[in-house]
Amino acid sequence: MKQTIYILMLLAILPLAFALNECKGTITNDEVPCSIFLPINTSQTACNTIDISYYSNNTNLYNQTMSQLNDFTCNSTFNQSALGTYTFSYTTGDSGSIVVEEGTNMILLWYFAIVVIICLYTAGFVTRDSTFMNLGSMGLIVMGIFILINGFSILDNLMTRMLALVFWGIGFYMLFRVNMESYKESLD
């Protein structure tokens, strides 16, 4: 009898655990994939007769046939996590857009990384230890590579590449300069 109560409780709670993540116009990249809902009376129009097309900068990314969620809703899955604005249009003539922004966790990670690099450079200048300077330089180089691969917030490609080049330039310059000074001191 006790097991039956536990099974009934589990069945009552289970639908709450599988809640759908709806695309709400502006989302962060960690909320992808999400569902797009089209309210429609499915007894008059079947969901499998409605197609949805996803666009980025007027380029068709992919098309998808809607599936039925319930008697009054069709749904489709949006699965683009790159930053930017995406538009979609139904074969019914309706359309909309989704803006994918960078999650706040990534922005906090950037601030933390910059603070750590500044602390490493400061410790290197104060103690005159090349290890701290080398670690700070390597951190800037890695951040530059990460920016070049993944982008940085909402900056476009040219600005992203320039930011990556600035990080690389400072990182490589400091790495070279610190190691040359260490080498000169070891010769004296």
Domain ranges of the chain: 16-101, 104-187
pLDDT at 64: 92
Cα separation, 82 vs 99, in Å, equals: 10
Whether residue 116 is predicted with pLDDT greater than 50 in this model: the reply is yes
- Tell me the per-residue pLDDT of 25-62, one tens digit each, with 9 for 90 and over: 788 777 788 888 888 888 888 999 999 999 988 899 99
One-letter amino acid of 60? N
Superfamily of domain 16-101: Immunoglobulins (2.60.40.10)
**Predicted TM-score (pTM) of this structure:** 0.50
Q: How far is CA 183 from CA 8, 135, 149, in A?
A: 73, 17, 33
- Tell me the per-residue pLDDT of 127-136, one tens digit each, with 9 for 90 and over: 988 889 999 9
pLDDT higher at 94 or 103: 94
Mean pLDDT across 138-157: 77
The Cα angle at residue 125 between residues 140 and 137, in degrees rounded to 5: 15
Provide, rounded to the nearest whole percent, the portion of the chain with pLDDT above 70: 84
